[in-house]
Amino acid sequence: MWSIIVHGGAGAIPGPLEAQHRAGCARAVEVGAALLARGASALDAAQAAVRVLEDDPTFNAGVGATLDARGLPLTDAAVMRGEDLAYGAVGQVLGVRNPIDLARAVLEDGRHCLLVGPNAVEFARDAGVALCDPARHLTEATIRAYTARREEEARSGRRAATADWDPQEGLGVDRGNTVGAVARDAAGGLAAATSTGGLLMRYPGRVGDSPVAGAGTYADAELGALSATGHGETMLRTVFALRALQAAQAADPTEALLAALDDARARVGGKGGAILVLPDGRLAHARNTRGMGVAGQREGEALFTAF
């Protein structure tokens, strides 16, 4: 039995955007589910679903990625396969059309797990992964959010990512933070895929949890697969993905996710959300932010959405 679930990022997403977030996630699940129904691997399905979310300007990844302090849409992405713990990730890449495809190319190449910066883009060129003008990833909304944050910083003298910065604020005013998909294929294979534009106004060079195995992304045939979203530093410091998957083994998976999110918030301060699939195909999602677009489907059942 196959199953798939995606998220469009956790954050302070205004209510009027809920329908857009649900619809975008549903479109991603439809693409992933169609592949799984034809016998595709969980890895192919999760990657394809994330590609849909990267191409949708609603979400903070690919087109619509938030801008760093220099106003650049640098992105991070990762894919992981549960059977053999194969893992490919990229950080701080600019001008790669679909960062999730580059993460997959790193996984398939197999020599390394995580490539960053201009050298990762060079790897994309060599591997035949499509590049693009970085302007392709800019949207009016991300430019507006960046400009507003700059003006607010200039007015208040308060810089983002300092000790007094509220991580919730940093998750974006009109969009979630990060997109992700996890899937189980008909043969029992598991995979996770995550892609993000990171936090608005992040320090140039900052890499969050998304491309770090065990923090923002993880897949292990014995535990399940998980993609996280939210304040990356909180997920990194709590090794969120691995610990949440471990906690989900012995408890109700939704409650385990929520408890892991609340524990991370209590210990480090940031909020977020996550989706997971267990080895038996059960799906779960949870958030402790205002919203998070979610869609999922299990073989033989109707597609569902949540927010």
Q: Which of 229, 288, 297, 305 binds ligand GLY (CB under 6 A)?
A: 229
Region binding ligand GLY by CB under 6 A among candidate stretches 143-151, 184-192, 205-213, 293-301: 205-213
Angle between helices 117-127 and 99-109 (to 10 degrees): 80
149 close to 200: Cβ distance less than 8 angstroms: yes
285 close to 296: Cβ distance less than 8 angstroms: yes
146 close to 71: Cβ distance less than 8 angstroms: yes
Whose Cβ is closer to ligand GLY: residue 101's or residue 209's?
Answer: 209
Whose Cβ is closer to ligand GLY: residue 64's or residue 189's?
Answer: 64
* Tokens at 295, concatenated: 């869609």
CB of 231 to ligand GLY, least distance (A): 6
The residue assigned the tokens 């509220």 is: 166
Active site residue 238: no
| 156: DSSP letter | H
State the alpha helices, DSSP H only, in 169-291: 232-237, 240-247, 253-267
Whose Cβ is closer to ligand GLY: residue 60's or residue 297's?
Answer: 60
Region binding ligand GLY by CB under 6 A among candidate stretches 21-29, 151-159, 182-190, 229-237: 229-237
238 lies in the binding site for ligand GLY (CB under 6 A): no
134 close to 97: Cβ distance less than 8 angstroms: no
Region binding ligand GLY by CB under 6 A among candidate stretches 140-148, 202-210, 240-248, 285-293: 202-210
Beta bridge partners of 220: 224
220 lies in the binding site for ligand GLY (CB under 6 A): no
Other Cβ atoms closer than 10 A to 84: 10
208 lies in the binding site for ligand GLY (CB under 6 A): yes
209 lies in the binding site for ligand GLY (CB under 6 A): yes
CB of 205 to ligand GLY, least distance (A): 13
Whose Cβ is closer to ligand GLY: residue 214's or residue 216's?
Answer: 216
| 174: DSSP letter | S
What is the spatial distance between Cα 306 and Cα 291, in angstroms, rounded to a whole number?
Answer: 9
What is the spatial distance between Cα 304 and Cα 294, in angstroms, rounded to a whole number?
Answer: 8
142 lies in the binding site for ligand GLY (CB under 6 A): no
Catalytically annotated residue among 58, 75, 178, 238 = 178
196 lies in the binding site for ligand GLY (CB under 6 A): yes
Residue type at 97 in one-letter notation: R
198 lies in the binding site for ligand GLY (CB under 6 A): yes
Is beta strand 87-93 parallel, antiparallel or unpaired with respect to 114-116?
Answer: parallel
Please give the residue ranges that form the binding site for ligand GLY (CB under 6 A). Answer: 177-178, 196, 198-199, 208-210, 216, 229-232
Tell me the catalytic residues.
178
